[in-house]
Amino acid sequence: MAKRIITISREFGSGGRFIGEEVAKKLGIAYYDKDIIGQIAEKSGFSTEYIKENAELSPKKGLFGYAFAGRDLTGKSVEDMVYEAQRKVILEIAEKESCVIIGRNADFILKDREDVLNVFIHGDMPQKVQRICRLYHVTEAEAAKMMADIDKRRMTNYRFYTEQKWGMAGNYTLSMNSSRLGYEMCEKMIMDCTKAGVAHSCICTSQVL
């Protein structure tokens, strides 16, 4: 198989990270998720703890957090510097090897490459809430709050740095509902597209089989 890069964006609780990891295992390619944090920290000079909290998520104040962030003489804020470091790491990884990259606006960062399959995984509220409750040992109310907060911050970060709408089907090759399709079918569809050489120029939106 020629070199292929798979980016997976996902709603919190949809199982996107698990699906991406399984796809990487089955295809025998590299998997990048939290391990990118150390590389971003090294390039940016910020701590891994700071990167973990801020590299993919917007400030809790949303767009205002970006608009009123302190900036240096060049006009760059701390968030801008973190994003630039993240962008460089993702570009280097994609140049190096076939891989699955989870989140971090990788679909947009790699939009000019022809060997990228961009995937968005979403799900139905009840299933996502149950998954969050099980993984994080929280109540349903707490799970719903976590989901709303994290997805809002992902959406804000994506919108600010890409000027695109997070989760819009037209930005991805595959947009799949993991609650309706199941994780195994999502994995199969991603692998089938990868093996067939389907790239970001082809749009396939799947809700229910």
What does the pLDDT read at residue 15?
97
DSSP letter for each residue of the chain: ----EEEEEE-TTS-HHHHHHHHHHHHT-EEESTTHHHHHHHHH---HHHHHHHSSS--TTTHHHHHT--B-TTS-BHHHHHHHHHHHHHHHHHHH--EEEESTTHHHHTTT-SSEEEEEEE--HHHHHHHHHHHHT--HHHHHHHHHHHHHHHHHHHHHHHSS-TT-GGG-SEEEEHHHH-HHHHHHHHHHHHHHT--TTS-EEE---
The yes-or-no verdict on residue 206 having pLDDT over 60 is no
What does the pLDDT read at residue 204?
46
Reported as a pLDDT band with limits 50, 70 and 90, residue 202 is very low
What does the pLDDT read at residue 1?
60
What does the pLDDT read at residue 46?
79
Summarize pLDDT for 8-19 with one digit per residue, the tens.
999 999 999 999
CB atoms within 10 A of CB 139: 10
What does the pLDDT read at residue 208?
37
Summarize pLDDT for 27-76 with one digit per residue, the tens.
999 999 988 888 888 888 878 887 877 767 766 555 555 555 555 445 57
What does the pLDDT read at residue 178?
98
